[in-house]
Structure 1
Amino acid sequence: MTEDDGVDEELLSIGAFAARARLSAKALRLYDRLGLLVPARVDPATGYRYYAAGQVERARLVALLRQLDMPLARIAEVLDAGDGGVAADRLAAYWAGVETRVAGQRALAEYLRGRLSGRSSEMHGKFAVELVDVPEQVVITEKRHTLAPELPAWIGASLGRLAAAAEECGGVAGVPFVAYHAEVSLESDGPAEACVPVADEAAARAWAEQRGRAWETTVRVEPARRLAYTRISKAQVAHPQILAAFEAVEEWIAAEGLSQAGPCREVYFADWDAAGAEDPVCDVAFPVK
C-alpha cells in the first residue's frame, strides 16, 4: 500500500487531493509542517496523509495567494481570519504594501539608470523646484543618530510622539519636518532631528522638562526661513531614490545663484498611512539665502 492509495469515501489520498487542489504532494507536505493545511487524518502506522474533500477550496486559495508571492505566514493570516470581510481586508493590506514596494523599486530603478548612464542632469530636471517663505516657529524636537535603514521607522515614531506632545501644549501649529544636521546614509548617522511646530512655547518647555527626558525631547525656536523645495511621492521618499530629489534641489540652488543657509529637511505634509504610493507626501527642502 502507498501514501497515494485511497482509504475511505470521505477522505482523499495525498495524490488524489493534490490533483484536485492543483498543488504538488511536496507542497502539501510543506503546508502540513507549517500548519497551513493540515490533513484530516494521518495514519498512525504508516504516516500517510489523507484530506477531506472540503479542504480543496482552502488548498486552491493557498495556491492562488502564492501566485501573488505572498509569504506563507501572511497566507495563514488571511485564511484564518474567520470572516470573509476581514480576510479580504488583510489581502488588500498586503497588496497595498506590494504596490508601495514596487513603486519604490520603480523610482529606484529610474534613479539608478540616471546615475549609471550619466544622465543626472536630465533626471534632476524632472523635479519642479520652487521657493517658499516659512515664518519663525517654536518646535518640539527629538534628535537621533541613525543610519538610513532605521530612519523611516524612527521618523514615524518620533513625529507621532511629538505630535501627541504638541496636542497637550496648545496644539500642532504647523507642518512636521525632519532636519538633517549631517548626512544620513548606510555609513553616516547624521544626526537627524524630528520637529513638530507647537502653539504654546511655555507649555512645551514644561512638557519636555517633566516628561520628555526618555527621548531627550527639547524645545527651540526655528528661525524664519526661505526654502527651495521639490515635492515628491510616497514611493520616492525611500532611500536611496530620495537622493535624486535632494540633488535636484541642490543643482537648482546653484543654478539660481543662491546658497544654502541651514540644514536640509523633509517636510511631511500628508497623512502617510492614508497616502498611496504615487500620492505627494513630502517636500525635500533646503534653506537658502
Structure 2
Amino acid sequence: MTEDAQVDDELLTIGAFAARARLSAKALRLYDRLGLLAPAHVDELSGYRYYRADQVERARLVALLRQLDMPLARIADVVEADGSEAADRLAAYWADVETRVAGQRTLAEYLRGRLSGRSSEMYGKFVVETVEVPEQVVITQSRHTLTDELPAWIDASLDRLLPAAGECGGVAAAPYVVYHSEVSMESDGPAETCVPVADEAAAREWAERQGRAWDTKVRVEPAQRLAYTRITKAQVAAPQIGAAFEAVEQWIAARGLEQAGPCREVYFADWAAAGPQDAVCDVAFPVR
C-alpha cells in the first residue's frame, strides 16, 4: 500500500489527508507536535500517520487561526470549543489584537516624530492640564514588578482593594497606581495601587486585620496639585504610555514647575466596558 492510498473506509494516509485539507504533510506533523491536531492512528511499525476525513475541517481551522498570529494556547481554546463559544473566543482574541494595534499605531507615530526631530509636535497631541486634589485617605498595596507582570498585578490588587473599600466607608475617588521607581523590562519599581476611602479609622482597622498580606497599608495623601494628560485605553499599554508621561514632563519643565512626587496613573473609567479609543486614564505628576 502506498502512503497516498486509503488505509480503509475511515482512515487516510497523511498524504491523502494533506491533499484534502490543502495543507502540507510538514504542516500536519507540526500541528501534531504542537498538540493541535493529532492523527487518528499512528502505525507502530512504520510510524505512518493516518487521519479521519472528518478531521479536515479542524485542520483548515488551525491553519487559518495561525494566519491571525494567534498564540498556540489560544488556538487550542478555539478549536476545542463548540459553535458560538468558539466564535466568542475568537472575537475576544481579535479585540485584544485591535487594542494592541491601536496602541502600536500611536507608538509608531510618536517614534516617527522623535526620530525626525518633531518630538514637540508629538507631545502637542497630548493636552496637559492641572487639577487640585484634596487630602485623601488611601488603602494601598505595593509590589516590585516588571512591565510584563504589571497589568495582571494591578488587576489582582484592585480586585482585593475595591471590595475592601466597602469596609472603609466606601470608595471616595478614582483608584490610581503610583510608580515609586521605574517599572520596565529591566527595572521592577516598586508600584503601589491606591484606593481612596471615606473612613480613616475604619481603614486602619481593616489594614490591621490584613497583617503583612500583600504589603497592605493605609496612609493619608496630602492635598496636592497634579499636572496630567488624559489617554485612551489603547494608549495605556506599554511602551506607548511613555509618550504621555514624557509630554507631561516636558509641559512641567516648560512652565518652570517642579515635580513634587512620583508619577501615577489614575483610572477613572470602567476598563472592561471601554473600547480602544475611549478615555480611561490620566497620567499625572504632582507639581509645585
**SS class of match (2:280):** strand
Amino acid at match of 2:19: A
Residue in structure 2 matched with residue 128 of structure 1 by the alignment: 127
CA contact under 8 A between 1:3 and 1:49: conserved in structure 2? no
Residue in structure 1 matched with residue 58 of structure 2 by the alignment: 58
**SS class of match (1:168):** helix
Cα distance change of structure 1 residues 226 and 61 upon mapping to structure 2, 3 Å threshold: same
Residue in structure 2 matched with residue 69 of structure 1 by the alignment: 69
Amino acid at match of 2:197: V
Amino acid at match of 2:74: R
Task: Write the deviation string for residues 69-97 of structure 1: whole angstroms up to 9, x where unpaired.
Answer: 1233322211111x211111111122122
Residue in structure 2 matched with residue 106 of structure 1 by the alignment: 105
Amino acid at match of 2:164: A
Residue in structure 2 matched with residue 163 of structure 1 by the alignment: 162
Amino acid at match of 2:129: E
CA contact under 8 A between 1:140 and 1:220: conserved in structure 2? yes
CA contact under 8 A between 2:176 and 2:266: conserved in structure 1? yes
Residue in structure 1 matched with residue 47 of structure 2 by the alignment: 47
Once residues 73 and 152 of structure 1 are traced to their aligned partners in structure 2, the CA distance between those partners, rounded to angstroms, is 20
CA contact under 8 A between 1:31 and 1:37: conserved in structure 2? yes
Amino acid at match of 2:22: R
28-37 or 193-202: bigger deviation: 28-37
Once residues 262 and 279 of structure 1 are traced to their aligned partners in structure 2, the CA distance between those partners, rounded to angstroms, is 28
142-151 or 121-130: bigger deviation: 142-151
Say whether residues 1:229 and 2:222 are aligned partners. no
Amino acid at match of 1:24: S
Task: Write the deviation string for residues 1-20 of structure 1: whole angstroms up to 9, x where unpaired.
Answer: 33222222333222221111
Displacement of 1:221: 1.4
Would you say how many aligned residue pairs link Structure 1 and Structure 2?
288
CA contact under 8 A between 1:234 and 1:282: conserved in structure 2? yes
Cα distance change of structure 1 residues 203 and 232 upon mapping to structure 2, 3 Å threshold: same
Residue in structure 2 matched with residue 196 of structure 1 by the alignment: 195
140-149 or 158-167: bigger deviation: 140-149
Runs of at least 5 residues in structure 2 that lack an aligned partner in the other structure = none
Once residues 47 and 265 of structure 1 are traced to their aligned partners in structure 2, the CA distance between those partners, rounded to angstroms, is 59
Once residues 262 and 41 of structure 1 are traced to their aligned partners in structure 2, the CA distance between those partners, rounded to angstroms, is 65
Task: Write the deviation string for residues 41-76 of structure 1: whole angstroms up to 9, x where unpaired.
Answer: 333443322222222211211121121112333222
Runs of 4+ in 1 over 4 A off after TM superposition: none
152-161 or 17-26: bigger deviation: 152-161
Once residues 158 and 75 of structure 1 are traced to their aligned partners in structure 2, the CA distance between those partners, rounded to angstroms, is 29
CA contact under 8 A between 1:228 and 1:253: conserved in structure 2? yes
Equivalent residues in 2 for 1:170-181 (5 A)? 170-181=169-180
Once residues 153 and 8 of structure 2 are traced to their aligned partners in structure 1, the CA distance between those partners, rounded to angstroms, is 58
Displacement of 1:287: 2.0
Once residues 132 and 205 of structure 1 are traced to their aligned partners in structure 2, the CA distance between those partners, rounded to angstroms, is 28
Displacement of 1:212: 4.2
Displacement of 1:273: 2.9
Once residues 38 and 10 of structure 2 are traced to their aligned partners in structure 1, the CA distance between those partners, rounded to angstroms, is 16
Aligned-pair identity in percent equals 81
Residue in structure 1 matched with residue 80 of structure 2 by the alignment: 80
Once residues 37 and 146 of structure 1 are traced to their aligned partners in structure 2, the CA distance between those partners, rounded to angstroms, is 37
248-257 or 17-26: bigger deviation: 248-257
What TM-score results when the alignment is normalised by the length of structure 1? 0.90
Say whether residues 1:118 and 2:126 are aligned partners. no
Displacement of 1:195: 0.8
Displacement of 1:267: 0.4
CA contact under 8 A between 2:100 and 2:237: conserved in structure 1? no
Displacement of 1:186: 4.1
Runs of at least 5 residues in structure 1 that lack an aligned partner in the other structure = none
CA contact under 8 A between 2:146 and 2:186: conserved in structure 1? yes
**SS class of match (1:138):** strand
Residue in structure 2 matched with residue 96 of structure 1 by the alignment: 95
Once residues 47 and 188 of structure 1 are traced to their aligned partners in structure 2, the CA distance between those partners, rounded to angstroms, is 50
Once residues 25 and 182 of structure 2 are traced to their aligned partners in structure 1, the CA distance between those partners, rounded to angstroms, is 52
Once residues 61 and 145 of structure 1 are traced to their aligned partners in structure 2, the CA distance between those partners, rounded to angstroms, is 41
